Structure 1
Amino acid sequence: MTVRVLLADDQEMVRAALRGVIDRRDGLEVVGEAADGEQAVAEAARLCPDVVVMDVRMPGVNGVEATRRILSARTPGGAPPPRVLVLTTFDLDEYVHAALRAGAGGFLLKNSPVDQLEHAIRVVAAGEAVLAPSVTRRLLKTFTAPGAPGPPAPGPAGRLDALTDREREVLALVARGLTNLQIAEALGLRETNVKSRVNRILTRLGLANRVQAALLAHEEGLV
């Protein structure tokens, strides 16, 4: 099955380079481009791609707001919205946390190896999460550094009370960045069983994706 990709970046040269890289990969196809966030929202609605590769810093509507609009928009026939992979030049971008909060399924740097970009698109398309290593370190530091301002305040206390003990175990491993297969191997479960548990966790906690689940797990002290 081909993963259909929409590119959103204000630099035409960057879009051309990304298209050249992605279209050469088996099972990946660029179906459209957008030069700003407003156009990205419109093209996502028109083309219904599987993944939007989204720049953060664009004129007018930025990538964070565009991500929020894309993921909250109604889709034809109630189909799931596209997944969003944020791609940026800055590993210390102040929009990292906001983009993940908006529902982005991953965050990758533009200087990442080509194979890593391909892998990230496939992972995000499959509904899992991917973060650049430096971004992961930065997010973890946010939760652990003494006196750090930390992330936005968590929601109502006891949010994890809705989960079973096994679901808490799964959530803790999601927060550590493990894939469904790795979680299955760690807990002695089938991969399909883990996938259904992750989906149930997201539904019970009212979260959009695994990244948000990981952030919540850290906020609640599960990891």
Structure 2
Amino acid sequence: MTIRVLLADDQEMVRAALRAVIDRREDLCVVGEAADGDQAVDAAFRLRPDVVVMDVRMPGTTGVEATRRILTEWAYEDAPPRVLVLTTFDLDEYVHAALRAGASGFLLKNSPPDQLAHAIRVIAGGAAMLAPSVTHRLIGAFTALPTGLVPGTPTPAPGHRGRLDALTEREREVLILVARGLSNAQIADALGLTQANVKSRVNRILTRLGLENRVQAAILARDAGLIPPGR
């Protein structure tokens, strides 16, 4: 099945480069482009892509606000598109806000073409994707920020530990390793499980906690004190 991609970036040359990278893959196809956040929202609702590759900083409506609108205002029965945020800086505060808004991950703009294609596939498949070089630093820096400091960041709901009571001891162990940035393969090695078993447990954790992706699970785990700040 071909993964349909919408590109949102205010620079035409960047969109052209991204299109060239994506369209040369047999399983990926660019179905539309947007030059700002408002266009991205309109195009997402009109074209209903599988993945939106979203720039963070655009004139007018930012990529953060566009991400939030796409995911919260989606009016179709099928699931909304997954959002892959692109950024120039690995600690950009707007990326933190985009993850809070429901983006499935982020990638640096200087990432290799194959890494971009891989990220799109991973996100389309329902998993989260963070730039490998900054996974630990991103989550640690984000959860250390005071609530309300980052634009677009909602106030977290109280009772994190109460929500975690719904998990089994093994699921808590998996959640802690997710929060530390480990992949399913690494978690499987650490706990002596199969990758299929880890994937099943991660999906069950997300369902029980009412979360959209691994990034939100990692943030909740750190907010609840399962992972010390900076780890």
Choose which of 196, 211, 218 in structure 1 pairs with 2:215: 211
The CA deviation at 1:129 is 1.4
**What do residues 123-142 of structure 1 show as CA deviations (whole Å, max 9, x unaligned)?**
11111112122364143245
The letter for the 2-side match of 1:195 is K
Q: Say whether the 8 Å CA contact 1:23–1:29 is kept in structure 2.
A: yes
| Aligned counterpart, 2:62 | 62
CA 139–189 in structure 1, closer or farther in 2 if over 3 Å, else same:
closer
Return the alpha-carbon distance in structure 1 between the equivalents of residues 71 and 136 of structure 2.
23
How is 1:58-207 mapped onto 2 (pairs within 5 angstroms)? Answer: 58-76=58-76, 78-132=77-131, 133-134=133-134, 136-143=136-143, 149-150=145-146, 154-157=156-159, 158=161, 159-207=163-211
RMSD (Å) for aligned C-alpha atoms:
2.1
* More displaced stretch, 151-160 vs 84-93: 151-160
The CA deviation at 1:188 is 4.2
> SS of the counterpart of 1:162?
coil
Return the alpha-carbon distance in structure 2 between the equivalents of residues 149 and 211 of structure 1.
16
* More displaced stretch, 35-44 vs 167-176: 167-176
Q: Say whether the 8 Å CA contact 2:32–2:47 is kept in structure 1.
A: yes
How is 1:38-57 mapped onto 2 (pairs within 5 angstroms)? Answer: 38-57=38-57
CA 149–16 in structure 1, closer or farther in 2 if over 3 Å, else same:
closer
Return the alpha-carbon distance in structure 2 between the equivalents of residues 189 and 11 of structure 1.
45
Return the alpha-carbon distance in structure 2 between the equivalents of residues 85 and 142 of structure 1.
17
Q: Does 1:222 align with 2:226?
A: yes
The CA deviation at 1:119 is 1.4
CA 186–2 in structure 1, closer or farther in 2 if over 3 Å, else same:
farther
Q: Say whether the 8 Å CA contact 2:82–2:104 is kept in structure 1.
A: yes
Q: Say whether the 8 Å CA contact 1:53–1:85 is kept in structure 2.
A: yes
The CA deviation at 1:6 is 0.5
The letter for the 2-side match of 1:165 is E
Structure 2, unaligned runs of 5 or more: 149-154
| Aligned counterpart, 2:24 | 24
> SS of the counterpart of 1:163?
coil
Return the alpha-carbon distance in structure 2 between the equivalents of residues 135 and 59 of structure 1.
28
Q: Number of aligned residue pairs: give it.
A: 218
The letter for the 2-side match of 1:69 is R
Identity of aligned residues (%): 73
* More displaced stretch, 104-113 vs 130-139: 130-139
Structure 1, unaligned runs of 5 or more: none
After TM superposition, the score normalised by the length of structure 2 is: 0.85
